[in-house]
Amino acid sequence: MSNDEDFQNRLDRIQQSRRGRSSGMGFVVHPDGVVTAIGRPSSRLRFGFPLKGFLLALFIAVGVKAYLIWALGADVYLLQVEPLFAGSNLEQVAGQVLRPDALTLWVADRYQDVYTFLQAGLAAHRGE
């Protein structure tokens, strides 16, 4: 099979898969080798903002912040964050982001619940 036949077969497969969709585009290969699109482009709404990435980053940030609060203790964590409020504008913004909030404190409490559960399970396993 030549490269031209491989290319044509690939285009045919793409066209067949797009025909199954309600409003897909197709391709035509002219005798001179020029490929042109036919049909209507998809009218699907596309967001310019990466919402999934933002939500994932927010989820990770809350999880890490809650872990630090749980591991260090709320008082020690707050003592480490407070100096940021007296710094530059960027440090003040970081202080606002790192300040404990209700969601983060709730997640930190869940970390404590899981830790207590695991400790109880280990104690029962050891026969204490």
Q: What is the pLDDT of residues 50-109, one digit of tens each?
A: 888 999 999 999 999 999 999 999 999 999 999 999 999 999 999 999 999 999 999 999
Confidence check: pLDDT of 43 > 80:
no
Q: Distance between CA atoms of 23 and 26, rounded to whole angstroms?
A: 10
- Give the residue from 45, 65, 66, 63 showing the smallest Cα distance to 55: 63
Q: How many CA atoms lie within 13 A of 118 on its CB side?
A: 6
pTM: 0.59
Write out pLDDT tens, residues 109-121: 999 999 999 999 9
Q: Which amino acid is at 108?
A: A
Confidence check: pLDDT of 122 > 80:
yes
Task: Show the CA angle centred on residue 41, arms to residues 40 and 46, nearest 5°.
Answer: 150
- Give the residue from 44, 56, 62, 45 showing the smallest Cα distance to 103: 62
